[in-house]
Structure 1
Amino acid sequence: MSLAFLVTTLIVVATPGTGVVYTLSAGLSHGRRASLVAAVGCTLGIVPHMVATITGLAALLHASAVAFQVLKYLGVAYLLYMAWTMLRSDAAIIVETRTTARPPAGRVIMSGVLINLLNPKLTMFFVAFLPQFVSAGEPDSLPRMLELSAIFMLLTLVVFAAYGTFAAGVRNHVISRPRVMTWIGRVFAGSFVALGAKLALTQQ
């Protein structure tokens, strides 16, 4: 494993995107536990892209314009749905201190998985990224790609958990200010809309 791989991975993972926005909103909405569960969900959402890349399905996705467009617009639709769910309540981000207000862990994980699953850019990234760190004709290329993918997922989990823990840490300072929470919710909703628009304009 090279230093270049670690640095590049950290830059990619730490750059705010849909997963980061979702993890931050989970931390602010429901606390540290929910943010960590969201981080796990987003990390699990990487697995299908990793499998697609290693098995060659990503090459098919790259070659088929129709498949790429279908997956892309499913991702756009889901991002817009996430934005709508944040705006449909008066407070935009629903913050409750009652334990009953916390969504089931399974639902949080599923949302995190879908956010990354319906993002064809992630598969394209793996197609362009992993081969750079695997020598052509290397006899152990498959184990090597699995190793690098596992490291990518571990760093994703750590970085996202750090984002979520930070959000949960400042949660108590903002939940008593409904107007602040409303604007935070609007910012997150706007972020999902912007990310959806960016994804919609993405070309193969």
Structure 2
Amino acid sequence: MLLSFIISSILLAISPGPDNIYIATLTSRSGKISGFSFLMGLLIGCFIHTILLAFGLNAMIIQVDFIFNLIKYFGALYLIYLSIEVYKSDDLFKKNNKLSNSDSILINLKKGIMMNLLNPKVFLFFALFFPNFLFSETISFKIQIIIMGLIFIIITLFVFGIIILFSNVIFNNFSQESKFKLYAKFFNILVLIVIAAIILFAENSITLS
């Protein structure tokens, strides 16, 4: 079952989705430092989700509609806020160039964590996906979930890292072109709005006993 989990995780990571599309857009616009720092935020979020699932807190959050909806609405509002910030920026490249590497890392790290933890679909994903691949009758549920969570994080780091490196080539070759700057800005806004809509219309599709 563990091999099946690894294969399924790889297929999920390489499939086009909001996270890898956004990380490709961000890197193409701002470079690999922004991309990798955002990725680290996502991975921290994944580790937190793993711990929540392992200790039963994920189920509690999903079962309480008020908490689930609160996360959903805050997540959508946060993404709309980010899209407004992008729209208000006249030149994202100049703005990012004024930031020190440490500032850029912290900003994008926080974005990655927030976008992951304020997405109710991620809570549902962990609750639905991981328990299907329990691989041992002797190892405790908590340990199995943590092992799978760490494997999932490593796979995501590898696959998304490749996406970042390829997207960085676009940044290096086109980031100084005015048309590219404009297209990158509005595509980034579009991606954020689409993710916000996906979160806003997310439904609690499982009932945990």
Percent of residue pairs bearing the same amino acid type: 21
Secondary structure of 2:93 counterpart: coil
Shift of 1:123: 1.4
Partner Cα distance (1:137, 1:175) in 2: 53
Once the two structures are superposed, the pairs formed by residues 25-174 of structure 1 within 5 Å of their partners are 25-91=25-91, 94-96=92-94, 100-102=98-100, 104=103, 105-134=105-134, 138-174=138-174
TM-score w.r.t. the length of structure 1 is 0.89
Query: Can you list the C-alpha shifts for 1:115-145, whole angstroms capped at 9, x where unaligned?
Result: 1011111111111111111158544332221
Shift of 1:19: 2.9
- C-alpha spacing 1:69/1:5, structure 2 compared with 1 (3 Å): same
Partner Cα distance (2:27, 2:163) in 1: 8
- C-alpha spacing 1:176/1:147, structure 2 compared with 1 (3 Å): same
TM-score w.r.t. the length of structure 2 is 0.87
Provide the residue aligned with 2:24 in structure 1. Answer: 24
Shift of 1:99: 5.2
> 1:19 is aligned with what amino acid?
D
Query: Can you list the C-alpha shifts for 1:38-57, whole angstroms capped at 9, x where unaligned?
Result: 21111111122111111111
Contact kept? 1:25, 1:188, Cα under 8 Å: yes
Partner Cα distance (1:162, 1:69) in 2: 34
Count of residue correspondences:
202
Aligned-residue CA RMSD in angstroms?
2.2
Contact kept? 2:10, 2:155, Cα under 8 Å: yes
Query: Can you list the C-alpha shifts for 1:30-82, whole angstroms capped at 9, x where unaligned?
Result: 32222212211111111221111111111111211111000011111111122
- Structure 1: unaligned runs, 5 residues or longer: none
Contact kept? 1:53, 1:59, Cα under 8 Å: yes
Partner Cα distance (2:155, 2:81) in 1: 28
- Structure 2: unaligned runs, 5 residues or longer: 205-209
